[in-house]
């Protein structure tokens, strides 16, 4: 099947939300563009009303999560299968199948739009094929639901193999299932908020307290419209993302004899600022390091809203040389971020990262630099939001082998609620996205995935 090129006249048509979605999907799926970057710059997207924007966002995100399942369905009803090189044909069918099976949009609307798109982009002959395939899906919907492969088959092959090898089939099935749905909103509450205020805030957002100072809710409105946004008494941070600093605070109190406000902390790779906010909220003396100017700007915006006055230094974490010896260094290392698949569904359609070796080298270099600038008896916490063990456990193992003056500070179930299943035999924390079950009908389970290790320099 050879696709026809669109004419200049065809490109000037009035674009519906589904047509805008089609063009965005082509950029995301075939040209590896970031969805968030596209919609920021897209004139067509920004012309849509609020309702259509929300629909497009849901549609594209569901396509990213379930594209393999969708392809399995529509290829069943194509006599010879649809060749991958037929970009527009595949894209039209993916978007239509997602609407029919998972979003449960009225068939007449889906078919009419898909057939019109096919006429515009690939001609009348192909539009008849689209019509025939989609009508078969509509009339055989129950059969489609029965032969859809498991959710895990939406994962790219490299991730499926890696995670199955590392964590087993049961965990992978559960991770994939959780990642099929958009994530809830986790809000970290500042210590500046009084208990009575927290209770009122929780009530106002119909939220549920899932961890100390963490409220989870299912709101879909803009962050800026949430109660007390301008007061700077809360910030958005995944439930698992806020655990490292809480563990660190617990260990600091156990490890050092001096008062906590005298502890000097360096937060490496600090943007967008959630972990710096946690540290400042607990009165620590923090220097925040960030090399990226755009991320630094976002960091400053966030800190200003929270009424914090951070000491931000633009520098590479692996090269940073302070004029003092920090007691504690927090490394939230740059990584492949595969643990964030639930909120970043583009991971479902990405090939294996070609820069993984570069990321690993950077991680090693940051750790090595931290070991040189740390005060004796100091602590280094190493954190990644990757589920790849080569970016977590293997990095610390290599570091300890090279740096004999450091040893593991193990974590225990008493250090923080709900972490007992996350503690490894070495004393690290390995949070999988399926680990946290909050036993509530009102909030979703799960979180982002994280690796956390704490090491100390011997005197």
Go through the chain and tell me how many residues it has.
459
DSSP 8-state symbol, 151: G
Residuewise pLDDT in 10s, the chain (459 residues): 445 444 444 445 678 999 999 999 999 999 999 999 999 999 999 999 999 999 999 999 999 999 999 999 999 998 888 888 899 999 999 999 999 999 999 999 999 999 999 999 999 999 999 999 999 999 999 999 898 999 999 999 999 999 999 999 999 999 999 999 999 999 999 999 999 999 999 999 999 999 999 999 998 888 999 999 999 999 999 999 999 999 999 999 999 999 999 999 999 999 999 999 999 999 999 999 999 999 999 999 999 999 999 999 999 999 999 999 999 999 999 999 999 999 999 999 999 988 999 999 999 999 999 999 999 999 999 999 999 999 999 999 999 999 999 999 999 999 999 999 999 999 999 999 999 999 888 889 999 999 999 999 987
Contacts of 49 (CB under 8 A, 6+ apart): none
Residue whose token pair is 């956390």: 452
Q: What is the DSSP letter of 26?
A: I
Contacts of 87 (CB under 8 A, 6+ apart): 3, 26, 30
User: What is the distance between the alpha carbons of residues 432 and 393, in angstroms, rounded to a whole number?
Assistant: 14
53: left (phi over 0), alpha (psi -120 to 50) or beta: alpha
In this predicted structure, what is the pLDDT of residue 67? Answer: 97
**Contact yes or no for 428/393 (Cβ under 8 A):** yes
How many Å apart are CA 379 and CA 247, to the nearest integer? 12
Three-state secondary-structure class, residue 290: coil
* Domains in the chain with CATH codes: 8-149 (1.10.940.10), 239-457 (3.40.50.150)
Q: Give the model confidence (pLDDT) of 366-398 as tens digits.
A: 999 999 999 999 999 999 999 999 999 999 999
Cα-only R_g, the chain: 24
Question: Residue 177 has which token pair?
Answer: 């299932």
| DSSP structure string for 297-314 | HHHHHHHHHTT---EEE-
- Residue entry with tokens 């068939």: 107
Enter the DSSP assignment of 423: B
pLDDT for 12 equals 54
pLDDT value, residue 307: 97
Quick: pLDDT tens for 234-281: 999 999 999 999 999 999 999 999 999 999 999 999 999 999 999 999
- N- to C-terminal Cα distance for the chain? 70
- What pLDDT score was predicted for residue 251? 98
User: For the residues of 223-243, what is the DSSP string, one character each?
Assistant: GGGSTTGGGT-EEE--TTTTH
Q: Find the angle CA(400)-CA(401)-CA(405) to the nearest 5 degrees.
A: 55
Describe the crossing of helices 17-25 and 87-101 by its angle, rounded to 10 degrees.
Answer: 120
Peptide bond into 272 cis (omega under 30): yes
Q: What is the DSSP letter of 199?
A: H
Could you read off the pLDDT of 273-321 as tens digits, one per residue? 999 999 999 999 999 999 999 999 999 999 999 999 999 999 999 999 9
What is the structure's pLDDT at 13? 61
């Amino acid at each position: 099947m050879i696709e026809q090129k669109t004419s200049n006249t065809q490109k000037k048509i009035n674009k519906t939300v589904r047509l805008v979605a089609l063009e965005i999907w082509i950029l995301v799926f075939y040209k590896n563009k970031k969805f968030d970057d596209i919609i920021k710059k897209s004139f067509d997207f920004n012309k849509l009303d609020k309702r259509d924007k929300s629909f497009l966002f849901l549609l594209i995100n569901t396509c990213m999560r379930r594209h393999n399942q969708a392809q399995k369905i529509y290829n069943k009803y194509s006599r010879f299968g649809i060749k991958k090189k037929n970009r527009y044909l595949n894209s039209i069918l993916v978007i239509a199948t997602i609407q029919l099976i998972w979003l449960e949009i009225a068939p007449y609307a889906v078919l009419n739009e898909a057939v019109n798109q096919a006429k515009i982009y690939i001609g009348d002959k192909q539009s008849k094929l689209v019509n025939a395939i989609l009508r078969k899906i509509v009339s055989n919907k129950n059969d489609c639901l029965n032969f859809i492969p498991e959710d895990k088959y939406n994962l790219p092959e490299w991730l499926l193999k890696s995670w199955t090898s590392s964590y087993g089939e049961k965990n992978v099935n559960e991770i994939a299932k959780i990642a099929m749905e958009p994530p809830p909103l986790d809000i970290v509450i500042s210590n500046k908020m009084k208990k009575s205020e927290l209770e009122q805030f929780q009530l106002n957002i119909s939220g549920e307290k899932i961890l100390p100072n963490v409220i989870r809710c299912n709101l879909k409105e803009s962050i800026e419209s949430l109660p007390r946004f301008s007061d700077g008494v809360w910030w958005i941070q995944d439930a698992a993302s806020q655990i490292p600093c809480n563990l660190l605070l617990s260990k600091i109190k156990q490890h050092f004899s001096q008062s906590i406000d005298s502890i000097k902390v360096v937060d490496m790779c600090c943007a967008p600022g959630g972990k710096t906010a946690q540290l400042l909220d607990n009165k620590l003396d923090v220097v925040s390091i960030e090399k990226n100017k755009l991320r630094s700007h976002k960091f400053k915006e966030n800190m200003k809203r929270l009424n914090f006055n951070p000491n931000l230094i633009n520098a590479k974490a692996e090269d940073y040389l302070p004029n003092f010896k920090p007691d504690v260094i927090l490394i939230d290392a740059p990584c492949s971020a595969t643990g964030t698949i639930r909120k970043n569904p583009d991971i479902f359609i990405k090939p294996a990262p070609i820069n993984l070796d570069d990321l690993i080298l950077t991680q090693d270099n940051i750790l090595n630099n931290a070991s040189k600038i740390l005060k004796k008896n100091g602590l280094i916490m190493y954190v990644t939001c990757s589920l790849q063990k080569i970016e977590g456990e293997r990095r610390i193992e290599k570091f300890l082998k090279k740096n004999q003056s450091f040893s593991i500070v193990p974590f225990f179930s008493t250090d923080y609620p709900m972490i007992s299943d996350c503690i490894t035999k070495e004393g690290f924390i390995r949070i999988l996205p399926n680990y946290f079950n909050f036993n509530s009908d009102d909030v979703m389970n799960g979180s982002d995935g994280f690796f956390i290790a704490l090491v100390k320099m011997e005197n």
